[in-house]
Amino acid sequence: MKAIVFPKVGEYRVDDIPEPEPQEGQVIVKVKTSGICGTDVHILRGEFPISFPVIPGHEFTGVISKVGRGVKALKEGKLVAIEPNLWCGRCEFCRRGLTNYCADFGAFGFTTQGAYAEYVAVPAKNIYLLPDDADLETFSLAEPLSCVLHGQSKLSSILGKKVVVLGAGPIGVLHALIGRMRGASRVLLYSRGVYRLELAQRLFGLEYIESFDGIIDSLGGKADIVIESTGSTTMALRALDIVKNCGEVLYFGAPPSEQTIPLIPFYIYRNEIKVIGSFSLVSKDFLSALSLLQEQNEFKKTITHRFRLDEFGKFLEIEKTRKFLKAIFIFD
Ligand SMILES: [Zn+2]
Ligand SMILES: [Zn+2]
């Protein structure tokens, strides 16, 4: 089968590798859609702690093509979405429902073969059945959307609040859409790149601002909630300047793992600011994302580019320009 391999930092190639066979408790998924995540690009650039070689891809849907021994409830030909995290279900964190902190945590495209490939072997417990007429492109957003839902579940109620989202990539836009859906009184999207801001406005009618210094004026005061989705340490620090006393700052974007910021603890103390982290998702977020995607297909409009597996080079060219929102691979 065809797969994209990252053999080492900065390199990729389309390879022919053996198709996986289902182990006990697994099914084989013939991949139909596979989202290209910002994290995959970080991996390629060596900005994410991971061991090479790796076949990335953790945002995928497909059809069950083979069923392994011991799998009862799943049948060939069924359309499925895949929860990408691998967890044991037995350790302390798993028992608390915090599977993203499993002692044996792994994920497709990170610790095991991902979905930049035609077939993936998946444990049955990671499989979520979709309706036979499901639009798989829509459901390819299940992973990023569930991460967004996971992050926002850590905030107090958004209802009636003024929310600023830093970063207008697909994740920033999803945060803004969920914030609006949950009754924020204002949702203001900030980015340095006007192209994506205009796109977010055109596609979803989202309100944006290009000038960071203009945010407080535009809101008529500081924000109740700031969601940092750029992954920039500078923005992580500046987010604290635009949140009001007793407000919340969600660190959602993944910053470089070693970078520090000159934080003034007195400021956090004196203003009772809550700084909240969010990493990945747990199963209940994945389920919530699937229902949301089933209920409304507004989210699908975030997908602006579709590529074949052998067009990854073409994607990387567009990635440089930032003139896209969400890109996915589509398969026959
Ligand atoms: Zn992702
Ligand atoms: Zn566990």
The residues near 29 (Cβ < 8 Å, ≥ 6 apart) are: 60, 62, 63, 64, 65, 80, 82, 119, 120, 121, 122, 127
pLDDT of residue 248: 98
Tell me the pLDDT tens digit for each residue of 148-187.
Answer: 999 999 999 999 999 999 999 999 999 999 999 999 999 9
pLDDT of residue 154: 97
Question: How many alpha carbons lie under 13 Å from residue 238 in its C-beta half-sphere?
Answer: 20
Domain ranges of the chain: 2-146+281-330, 155-277
Measured in Å, residue 111 CA sits from the centre of ligand 2 at 15
* Ligand at shortest distance from the CA of 94: 2
Q: How far apart are CA 120 and CA 52, in angstroms?
A: 18
* Ligand at shortest distance from the CA of 91: 2
* Ligand at shortest distance from the CA of 59: 1
48-77 burial code (b ≥16 CB/10 A, e <16):
bebeeebbbbbbbbbbbbbbbeebeebeee
The residues near 63 (Cβ < 8 Å, ≥ 6 apart) are: 29, 30, 32, 77, 78, 79, 80
The label of the residue with tokens 């964190």 reads 93
Measured in Å, residue 193 CA sits from the centre of ligand 2 at 40
* Alpha-carbon separation of residue 20 from 23, 78, 130, 191 (angstroms): 9, 18, 23, 42
Which CATH number applies to 155-277: 3.40.309.10, 3.40.50.720, 1.10.1660.10, 3.40.50.300? 3.40.50.720
Measured in Å, residue 18 CA sits from the centre of ligand 1 at 25
Q: Which of 252, 289, 286, 318 is nearest to 39 (CA)?
A: 252
Helix (H) or strand (E) holding 157: none
Q: How far apart are CA 156 and CA 179, in angstroms?
A: 12
Question: Are the CB atoms for 4 and 313 separated by under 8 Å?
Answer: no
Helix (H) or strand (E) holding 40: helix 38-44
Measure the CA dihedral 136/137/140/141, to 10°.
-130
* Ligand at shortest distance from the CA of 102: 2
CATH code 3.90.180.10 for 2-146+281-330: yes
Measured in Å, residue 216 CA sits from the centre of ligand 1 at 31
Measured in Å, residue 171 CA sits from the centre of ligand 2 at 27
* Ligand at shortest distance from the CA of 105: 2
Measured in Å, residue 108 CA sits from the centre of ligand 2 at 16
Q: How far apart are CA 305 and CA 240, in angstroms?
A: 34
State the sign of the Cα–Cα–Cα–Cα dihedral 294, 138, 300, 113. Answer: positive
State pTM to two decimals.
0.96
**Helix H segments across 205-306?**
215-219, 233-238, 265-271, 283-295
pLDDT of residue 106: 96
The label of the residue with tokens 């949702």 reads 187
* Ligand at shortest distance from the CA of 100: 2
Question: Are the CB atoms for 102 and 88 separated by under 8 Å?
Answer: yes
Measured in Å, residue 83 CA sits from the centre of ligand 2 at 15
Residue stretches of the chain with pLDDT short of 50: none
Question: Are the CB atoms for 124 and 74 separated by under 8 Å?
Answer: yes
* Ligand at shortest distance from the CA of 90: 2
The residues near 61 (Cβ < 8 Å, ≥ 6 apart) are: 31, 32, 33, 79, 80, 81, 82, 130, 134, 136, 139, 140, 142
The residues near 58 (Cβ < 8 Å, ≥ 6 apart) are: 37, 39, 84, 107, 108, 109, 110, 114, 115, 143
Question: Are the CB atoms for 251 and 275 separated by under 8 Å?
Answer: yes
Measured in Å, residue 196 CA sits from the centre of ligand 1 at 18
Measured in Å, residue 63 CA sits from the centre of ligand 2 at 27
* Ligand at shortest distance from the CA of 104: 2
Question: Are the CB atoms for 201 and 208 separated by under 8 Å?
Answer: yes
* Ligand at shortest distance from the CA of 89: 2
pLDDT of residue 161: 98
Q: How far apart are CA 126 and CA 84, in angstroms?
A: 7
pLDDT of residue 217: 98
Measured in Å, residue 41 CA sits from the centre of ligand 1 at 10
Sequence letter at residue 303: I
Measured in Å, residue 58 CA sits from the centre of ligand 1 at 6
Measured in Å, residue 143 CA sits from the centre of ligand 1 at 6
Question: Are the CB atoms for 9 and 45 separated by under 8 Å?
Answer: yes
pLDDT of residue 66: 98
pLDDT of residue 297: 78
pLDDT of residue 49: 86
